Amino acid sequence: MIIGTLITVTSNSWLGAWMGLEINLLSFIPLMSDNNNLVSTEASLKYFLTQALASTVLLFSIILLMLKNNLNNEINESFTSMIMMSALLMKSGAAPFHFWFPNMMDGLTWMNALLLMTWQKIAPLMLISYLNIKNLLLISVILSVIIGAIGGLNQTSLRKLMAFSSINHLGWMLSALMINKSIWLTYFSFYFFLSFVLTFMFNLLKLFHLNQLFSSFFNSKILKFTLFMNFLSLGGLPPFLGFLPKWIVIQELTFCNQYAQLMIMMMMTLITLFFYLRICYSAFMLNYYENNWIISFQINNFLMNL
């Protein structure tokens, strides 16, 4: 899987990049379907079908691009590049080609979900940066941040919540890619780190749904605070680490006078922050069982003293 990504990133031809993507795809599927349950097999099949479709479209557009040089400009290059860009957006799971992503995330283990959210995005995003078709990229950025924000509102599954959060962050990453590759790399590094910490803790504590969050951590307050601080950091709340890459992107977009795009992105990020805060607030404040025990204990003590 690592070699596949490296081949794509270091390739000097489109065909070599396509080959790297294929190696990457075929090496990730056995990782997904290793725990012999039906859900993971279904997820691996969904992943294979969507990625194979995207790869076919990508190969078709690469052949068109190669034919263009032989047919003396009879094929429109921008049209070919747009097909290529669409295939790469589908591979990375950006809106409007995101439909496979949340459903598939629900059938994965936490470590596989982490790989899908982070490592599997490196190769397609690097290839998108070579094309850089502004209009299509801008549409994808706006749709990704909107769908990532609204899709996560009514989710009870933590994996789906992380999937929609990933789509939202992908919108930010694509806009960072439009400005500068080094900004994208900074944003991606921060996102990788925060996702790793969260998924590692979820995996450690075997958490998959929201109600498990509320009924856990009565013994360890430090663990609870660590987990929810990471949640808020991933949402991009200012005092935390996750706000720094967003601040850099906001600053660069204001320098480029992209105020309308920036406004939409910031408003949608506030929605994602709202559902993170809602989870954290209820976990911090409304700890029903614990409070009930304390109150009943105090009443019993009071009655005994009478």
Tokens read off for 133: 């078709």
- Kindly list the domain boundaries of the chain, sorted by start residue: 1-67+77-286
Q: CA-CA distance, 88 to 170, in Å (whole number)?
A: 13
Alpha carbons within 13 angstroms on the beta-carbon side of residue 84 total 26
Torsion of CA 284, 290, 292, 294, to 10 degrees: -110
Which one has a higher pLDDT value, 296 or 179?
Answer: 179
3-state secondary structure of 101: helix
Q: The pTM is what?
A: 0.90
Q: CA-CA distance, 273 to 283, in Å (whole number)?
A: 15
Which one-letter DSSP state was computed for residue 3?
H
| pLDDT, position 225 | 81
| pLDDT, position 32 | 87
Mean pLDDT of 121-140: 92
Alpha carbon separation from 28 to 5, 33, 64 (Å, rounded): 11, 9, 28
pLDDT band at 233 (very low <50, low <70, confident <90, very high): very high
Q: What is the mean pLDDT of the chain?
A: 87
Number of Cβ within a 10 Å radius of residue 221:
10
